[in-house]
């Protein structure tokens, strides 16, 4: 039912190993066909990724260079990472793709009975569009001739793409803009993959309800690059709010004290991510 896609570059390989162990431990019963590891870096990086990191799920792992999708990518890795998530979902012939960042670690079982409702819709909720994304909203409105008011939750990863919808979106958008989708997406700069997909659902299906349940289905706790001063409260949330995933941005990680890093390692080890000891 659900494939997994993660986009990674060389500096993220140590944390990718932790994510791999978390997928083996907590995604055992979601009907995985493929785990797509998309390398948003030079192709030598591919040879540094070991499918054995995924343990019993190793046979599902496909490590794919970004050149498999397009020969042209912008230097802004944040933008190219976004389009690669969409392109990864477009090659999955499972029903859904759960897309992750390399730093996203699962810390409890992903249960289909909690995620999918009785109508086959994913429980992710919806969000208001923050003012910082107003330019993005206007670009999407212009592309699809809509007035977008909401986006799908959780507003980041893990995000669940319905794969047939992604393929429709790429085909329809390519026809509309008269340009290859990967190049068009990157030329728009900060259009963002999740907002574009949310806008397309409104354009093509009149809203989200066909595929998504507005009931929020899971918690997640992230420490962003500018949230180091909130680390202690975030750690408490990780321990007490039963999140599905946790993450710490690499730039935030560099600013943590050794003791703070060890606290995170202890938390992950408690959740059976044993290789967390290898983080430096």
**In terms of Cα–Cα distance, which of 100, 111, 53 is closest to 245?**
100
Location of each CATH 3.90.550 domain in the chain: 2-105+115-218
Do the Cβ atoms of 42 and 75 come closer than 8 Å?
no
Per residue in 3-60, pLDDT (tens digit) is 999 999 999 999 999 999 999 999 999 999 999 999 999 999 999 999 999 999 999 9
Q: Which two tokens stand for residue 143?
A: 């592309």
Bin 255: left if φ > 0, else alpha if -120 < ψ < 50, else beta: alpha
Bin 155: left if φ > 0, else alpha if -120 < ψ < 50, else beta: left
pLDDT at site 71: 80
Per residue in 134-173, pLDDT (tens digit) is 999 999 999 999 999 999 999 899 999 999 999 999 999 9
For the chain, report the end-to-end CA distance as a whole number of angstroms: 35
Instruction: Taking residues 258-262, report their average pLDDT.
Output: 97
- Of the candidate CATH numbers 1.10.287, 3.40.640, 3.90.550, 1.10.10, the domain formed by 2-105+115-218 belongs to 3.90.550
pLDDT at site 58: 98
Mean pLDDT estimate for the chain: 95
pTM of the model: 0.96
pLDDT at site 280: 83
Instruction: Taking residues 53-81, report their average pLDDT.
Output: 93
Instruction: Taking residues 61-71, report their average pLDDT.
Output: 94
Coil vs helix vs strand at 96 = strand
pLDDT over 80 (residue 216): no
CA dihedral over 102, 104, 31, 155, signed as positive or negative: negative
* 96 CB burial (10 A radius; 0-12, 13-18, 19+): buried
pLDDT over 90 (residue 70): no
- How do strand 122-123 and strand 150-152 relate by DSSP bridges? unpaired
What is the DSSP secondary structure assignment for residue 122, as one 8-state letter? E
């Amino acid at each position: 039912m659900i494939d997994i896609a993660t986009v990674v570059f060389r500096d993220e390989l140590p944390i990718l190993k932790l994510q791999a162990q978390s997928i083996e431990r907590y995604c055992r019963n979601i009907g995985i066909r493929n785990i797509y590891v998309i390398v948003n870096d030079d192709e030598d990086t591919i040879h540094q990724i070991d499918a054995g990191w995924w343990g019993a799920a190793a046979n599902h792992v496909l490590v794919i260079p970004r050149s498999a999708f397009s020969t042209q990518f912008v230097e802004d890795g944040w933008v190219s990472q976004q389009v690669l998530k969409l392109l990864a979902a477009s090659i999955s012939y499972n029903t859904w793709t759960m897309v992750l960042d390399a730093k996203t670690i699962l810390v409890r079982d992903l249960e289909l009975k909690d995620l999918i409702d009785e109508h086959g819709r994913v429980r992710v909720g919806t969000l208001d569009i923050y003012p910082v994304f107003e330019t993005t909203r206007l670009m999407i409105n212009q592309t699809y001739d809509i007035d977008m008011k909401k986006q799908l939750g959780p507003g980041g990863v893990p995000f669940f793409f319905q794969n047939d919808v992604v393929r429709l979106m790429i085909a329809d958008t390519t026809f509309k803009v008269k340009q290859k989708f990967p190049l068009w997406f990157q030329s728009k700069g900060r259009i963002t993959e999740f907002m574009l997909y949310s806008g397309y659902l409104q354009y093509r299906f009149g809203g989200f309800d066909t595929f998504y349940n507005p009931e929020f289905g899971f918690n997640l706790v992230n420490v962003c690059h500018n949230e180091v001063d909130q680390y202690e409260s975030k750690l408490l949330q990780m321990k007490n709010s039963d999140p599905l995933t946790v993450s710490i941005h690499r730039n935030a990680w560099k600013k943590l004290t050794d003791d703070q890093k060890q606290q995170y390692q202890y938390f992950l080890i408690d959740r059976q991510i044993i290789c967390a000891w290898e983080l430096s």
